[in-house]
């Protein structure tokens, strides 16, 4: 089966992990610090805190905004569930907004439609790695949390996605562009928030034993500043991340090449709408190749499945999940729920895989 998502692991990752194992240091440590510095340098971030997942980074991002209790936070419905969970976990209410049918991103207009008197922040997702127009959203003068889980290599007007708003998160899970197995992280415009993130990630314990204990005599005592879960990364994950960071340009080049083959090969298919390329002032990360199929999308997915090609829908709209009790009517998200489909796109695809996928898609009779 050709997988829809995938990573590219090899001797580089093995060597990095081996050196941590040989050093008998597998928890948070020197590799974590090296990855944080190297990642911040590559994206020119004011700083970066590594965590154990992007989902947890979202939770921490909302926490760091220190919103008034019970605030409304606008979240695009066409995204991963952790985006809304993070808002609820901090005692606020996610208010779902629609997205643009072609970019699959929220826009100033779709956000304005979802504003309430209690709206205190907006969460913008850079879907598939195509930058959302954070520049336009700033007109609302509301705090912006950027979800750059798909956008590790994306830029808007030369600035890294994730560092355009007030707080930005990244995901390094097993299928992301830069993969660690499980991993995530956070940056913020205000370096104080990045420092606070380091405090929060260890159960709200500001500093470990030796650092924390006022009296050196009792180095086992520590001060706690917040009620917060543990989100510590490991040096094993950071090791994989360091190797992936060195390979990122090569892996991005492979994603872009496959994307361009698809864009060329699927141009003439009247029943298929191709995803948008990035505009001139932006750069895409090519995380997923999400098409729209005018009719019989499920049958198309089954047709490809029977040919050994796995596809998926990212994402079942959140406002349709009863757990949120949303009464929102979001026509574009509901249409994407019926028509959108992600085709395989990752650096592990062989030339033969790509040819197989192109032939299968072109063979489909709607
Ligand atoms: C848009 C988006 N945000 C956040 C996440 C969470 O990342 P993680 O899997 O690292 O928890 C994901 C993961 O799929 C995602 O797709």
Predicted local confidence at residue 212, as pLDDT:
54
CB 182 within 8 A of CB 53: yes
What spacing in Å lies between the alpha carbon of 359 and ligand 1's midpoint? 31
pLDDT band with cut points at 50, 70 and 90 for residue 217: confident
Residue 121 lies in a domain: yes
**Domain identity same for 131 and 189:** yes
Q: Is the pLDDT of residue 154 over 70?
A: yes
| Dist CA 57 CA 172 (whole Å) | 11
Domain count, the chain: 2
The token pair at 18 is 């081996």
Q: Is the pLDDT of residue 296 over 70?
A: yes
CATH number at residue 22: 3.40.640.10
Phi and psi of 258, rounded to 5°? Answer: -65, -45
**Domain identity same for 257 and 238:** no
Predicted local confidence at residue 202, as pLDDT:
94
What spacing in Å lies between the alpha carbon of 145 and ligand 1's midpoint? 14
**Domain identity same for 238 and 280:** no
Tell me the mean pLDDT in the region 22-40: 98
Percent of the chain with pLDDT over 70: 97
| Dist CA 321 CA 285 (whole Å) | 28
pLDDT band with cut points at 50, 70 and 90 for residue 221: confident
Tell me: cis bond preceding 6? Omega within 30 of 0 counts: no
Residue 2 lies in a domain: no
What spacing in Å lies between the alpha carbon of 58 and ligand 1's midpoint? 9
Residue in 104, 169, 171, 317 to alter for ligand 1 test, most ligand atoms within 8 A of Cβ: 171
**Domain identity same for 290 and 231:** no
Residue 186 lies in a domain: yes
pLDDT band with cut points at 50, 70 and 90 for residue 210: low
The range of the structural domain enclosing residue 232 comes to: 11-246
CATH number at residue 268: 3.90.1150.10
**Domain identity same for 45 and 172:** yes
**Residue where the block lists tokens 């298929």:** 272
**Domain identity same for 233 and 322:** no
**Domain identity same for 20 and 61:** yes
Beta pairing partners, 119? 72
Residue 348 lies in a domain: yes
Tell me the mean pLDDT in the region 303-323: 98
| Dist CA 185 CA 36 (whole Å) | 9
Predicted local confidence at residue 216, as pLDDT:
64
| Dist CA 179 CA 171 (whole Å) | 8
Q: Is the pLDDT of residue 80 over 80?
A: yes
**Domain identity same for 118 and 261:** no
Residue 79 lies in a domain: yes
CB 192 within 8 A of CB 171: no
DSSP per residue, 67-131: PPTT-EEEEESSS-THHHHHHHHTT-EEEEE---TTT-S--HHHHHTT--TTEEEEEEE-GGGPP
**Domain identity same for 255 and 314:** yes
**Domain identity same for 298 and 191:** no
Measured over all CA atoms, what is the biggest interatomic distance in the chain, rounded to whole angstroms?
A: 76
Q: How many CB atoms lie within 10 A of CB 158?
A: 9
pLDDT in tens, 245-293: 999 999 999 999 999 999 999 999 999 999 999 999 999 999 999 999 9
pLDDT band with cut points at 50, 70 and 90 for residue 218: confident
**Domain identity same for 97 and 117:** yes
DSSP per residue, 270-313: TTEEPPPPPPTTEE-----EEEEESS-HHHHHHHHHHTTB--B-
Residue 1 lies in a domain: no
* Nearest ligand 1 atom to alpha carbon 171: 10
pLDDT in tens, 173-188: 999 999 999 999 999 9
Provide the whole-model pTM.
0.96
What spacing in Å lies between the alpha carbon of 22 and ligand 1's midpoint? 31
**Last residue in a domain, options 202, 223, 246:** 246
**Last residue in a domain, options 200, 217, 246:** 246
Mean pLDDT of the chain: 96
**Domain identity same for 143 and 181:** yes
- Four-CA torsion 250, 163, 340, 98, nearest 10 degrees: -170
Question: Residues near ligand 1 with C-beta < 6 Å?
Answer: 53-55, 79-80, 82-83, 125, 147, 149-150, 171, 173, 184
Residue 5 lies in a domain: no
The residues near 61 (Cβ < 8 Å, ≥ 6 apart) are 86, 145, 167, 168, 169, 186
**Last residue in a domain, options 246, 275, 296:** 246
Predicted local confidence at residue 193, as pLDDT:
97
């Amino acid at each position: 089966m050709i997988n829809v998502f995938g990573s590219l692991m090899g001797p580089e990752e093995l060597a990095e992990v081996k050196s941590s194992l040989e050093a008998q240091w597998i928890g948070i440590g020197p590799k974590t610090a090296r990855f944080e510095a190297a990642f911040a340098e590559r994206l020119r971030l004011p700083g970066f805190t590594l965590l154990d997942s992007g989902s947890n980074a979202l939770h921490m991002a909302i926490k760091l905004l220190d919103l008034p209790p019970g605030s409304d936070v606008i979240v695009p419905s066409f995204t991963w569930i952790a985006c809304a969970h993070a808002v609820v976990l901090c005692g606020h209410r996610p208010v779902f907004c629609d997205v643009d049918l072609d970019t699959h991103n929220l826009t100033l207009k779709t956000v304005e439609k979802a504003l309430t008197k209690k709206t205190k922040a907006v969460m913008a997702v850079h879907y598939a790695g195509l930058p959302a127009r954070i520049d336009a959203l700033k007109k609302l003068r509301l705090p912006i949390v950027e979800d750059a889980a798909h956008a590790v290599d994306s830029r808007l007007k030369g600035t890294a996605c994730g560092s355009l708003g007030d707080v930005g998160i990244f995901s390094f899970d097993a299928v992301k562009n830069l993969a660690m197995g499980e991993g995530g992280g956070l940056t913020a415009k205000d370096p104080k928030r990045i420092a606070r993130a380091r405090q929060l990630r260890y159960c709200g314990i500001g500093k470990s034993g030796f650092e924390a204990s006022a009296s050196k005599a009792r180095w086992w005592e520590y001060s706690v500043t917040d009620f917060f879960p543990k989100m510590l990364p490991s040096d094993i994950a950071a090791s994989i991340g360091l190797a992936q960071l060195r390979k990122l340009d090569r892996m991005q080049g492979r994603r872009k090449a496959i994307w361009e083959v698809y864009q060329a090969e699927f141009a003439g298919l009247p029943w298929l709408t191709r995803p948008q390329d990035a505009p001139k002032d932006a750069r895409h990360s090519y995380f997923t190749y999400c098409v729209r199929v005018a009719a019989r999308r499920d049958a198309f997915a089954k047709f490809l499945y029977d040919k050994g090609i796995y596809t998926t829908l990212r994402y079942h709209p959140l406002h349709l999940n009863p757990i949120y009790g949303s009464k929102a009517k979001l026509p574009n998200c509901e249409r994407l729920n019926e028509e959108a489909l992600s085709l395989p796109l990752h650096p592990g695809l062989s030339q033969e895989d790509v040819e197989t996928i192109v032939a299968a898609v072109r063979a489909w009779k709607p």
